[in-house]
Structure 1
Amino acid sequence: MLIHPWDTPRDDTWRQWLATHDFGQLAVNGPPGEPPFVQPLHFAYDAERREAVTHLARPNPLWPAIESAPDVLLSVVDDYAFVPGPWQAEPGTPPEHGVPTSLYAAVQLRCRAHVVDDPTEKAVLLNRQVGHFQPEGGSARAAAGEAPYGRLLSGIRGLRLEVTEVRAKFKYAGKRSQAVRDRVATGLEDRGRARDAAARGHVLRVGPTTP
């Protein structure tokens, strides 16, 4: 992923963003001559432990690939929006000369995958996930050998993804003039498509950066 200086977060924005964006794609190297495996999944990221936890069904074809090549990539992309060319035309430039572009936030976590098969450890991992997604409770805790989930643990395998590198990109017109940024923000507000409001929030928050 190419990250220009003006698209690089200047603070811990990516951590705050990732805390509320917990669905991504896990990319794992495929066998020689084959493309990578890509698995959509929910995960729970723990900033203090620098790891993400998740689980998959035991029959999932990713398992042999993960065990063969445990260096994997967890990719999360959201808050994206298409920007028409006229919105990006600089003052004094014909609108039709503006260049269309995409706005988006992306965080890529390079990880070392650790497969979890021990029933007790799997239960702990699942409870961490449920605690993240259902902090209000409402579900029984998983425990090996105990109802209601104990008998289901054999059907899954857990994954601890130890984060070894983070690459974050927030592409929101950081290199454009304030006039263009204002026009883009107004255009997103007026258009009002799904994710336009989130993209507009980033445009307003991220000030211009000199390359």
Structure 2
Amino acid sequence: MLIHPWDAALDDAEWQTWLAEGRDFGILSVNGLPGHSPMTVPTHFTGDGDQLLIHLARPNPVWHAVERDPNVTFTVFGDYAFIPGPWRAGPGVPPTDGVPTSYYAAVQFTCRAHIVDGPEAKAELLRRQMAHFQPDGDHAPVAAGRPPYGRMLSGIRGLRLEVTDVRAKLKYDDHKPVEHRASVAVNLAARGQGLDVPTARQQLRRLDRTGPWKP
């Protein structure tokens, strides 16, 4: 992932806050088996200190690739929108000569995967995930040997992804003049399609923090 200086996270708290605002779904990318393409798996995840917790069905073909090479990447992205060329045309430039782009936020975790396969270890992983996704506790106890979840544990395997590096990108034209960025945010809010409104919020939030871009 290319990260220009103006697209970089302003600090760790920025991407950590962005994730904590309810972004808990991403793409696990695993090096493929010899002669095969890399494998990707969309899945929910839970943060646990310097680790990410996920679980997948035991028949998932990704396990063979993880066992062969535990070096993986986990990517979370959101607040994205297509920005048409006319919105980006500078002063004195015909609108049709403007160059379109994409806005988005993305966090990539480089990880070393550790497979969790013992019944109690898997139950503990699920308890941590349930504490995040169902914090009200409106579910049966998750325990090995106890219904309903105990009998299901054999059908899954867990992964603890030990995070070794984090790269965050928030691409919202921060290198453009203040007036340009404010204008694009207005256009996004007016268009109001897909993730236009949250994308505009991200752009204005970054604008408030950075003002004019300074190398």
With normalisation by structure 1, the TM-score equals 0.96
**For residue 109 of structure 1, what is the amino acid of its counterpart?**
F
Q: Equivalent residues in 2 for 1:155-166 (5 A)?
A: 155-166=155-166
| Secondary structure, aligned partner of 1:96 | helix
Assess, with a 3 A threshold, how the Cα gap between structure 1 residues 63 and 149 changes in structure 2: closer, same or farther.
Answer: same
Deviations 1:19-65 (A, max 9, x none): 2211111000011221101001010123xx21110101111111111
What CA distance in whole angstroms lies between the structure 2 residues aligned with 1:94 and 1:177?
A: 18
Q: 1:143 is paired with a residue of what secondary structure?
A: coil
Shift in Å at residue 69 of structure 1?
A: 0.2
Counterpart pick for 2:27 among 25, 28, 42: 25
In the alignment of these two chains, the number of paired residues is 209
Instruction: Answer whether contact 1:90 1:179 (CA < 8 A) is retained.
Output: no
- Percent identity, please: 56
Distance 1:84 1:194 in 2: 15
Matched, 1:60 2:63: no
1:210 maps to what in 2? 214
Contact 1:75 1:107 in 2 (8 A): yes
CA distance in 1, matches of 2:136, 2:194: 27
What SS is found at the alignment partner of 1:6? helix
Instruction: Tell me the equivalent position of 2:190.
Output: 190
- Amino acid of the structure 2 residue aligned with 1:15: Q
Partners of 2:84 and 2:134 in 1: CA distance: 39
Q: Which residue of 1 aligns with 2:41?
A: 39
Shift of 1:110: 0.6
| C-alpha contact (below 8 Å) 2:110/2:164 kept by paired residues | yes
1:69-91 deviation digits (Å, cap 9, x = unpaired): 00100011111000011111122
Give the C-alpha shift of residue 93 in structure 1. Answer: 2.2
Q: AA paired with 2:214?
A: T
Gaps of 5+ in 1: none
The gaps in structure 2 that reach 5 residues or longer are none
Separation (CA, whole Å) in 1 of partners of 2:91 and 2:138: 55
Alignment partner, residue 3 of structure 1: 3
TM-score by length of 2: 0.94
Deviates more, 1:162-171 or 1:199-208: 199-208
Residue in structure 2 matched with residue 15 of structure 1 by the alignment: 16
Report the residue type matching 1:17 in the other structure.
Answer: W
- Report the alpha carbon displacement of residue 144 of structure 1 after superposing the two structures with TM: 0.5
Deviation at 1:98, TM superposition (A): 1.4
Query: Where in structure 2 are the equivalents of 1:83-102 lying within 5 Å?
Result: 83-102=83-102
- Cα deviation per residue 1:142-162 (whole Å; 9 max; x = unaligned)? 101011110100110011011
Indicate the residue corresponding to 1:115 in structure 2.
115
Please tell me the residue identity of whatever aligns with 2:71: D
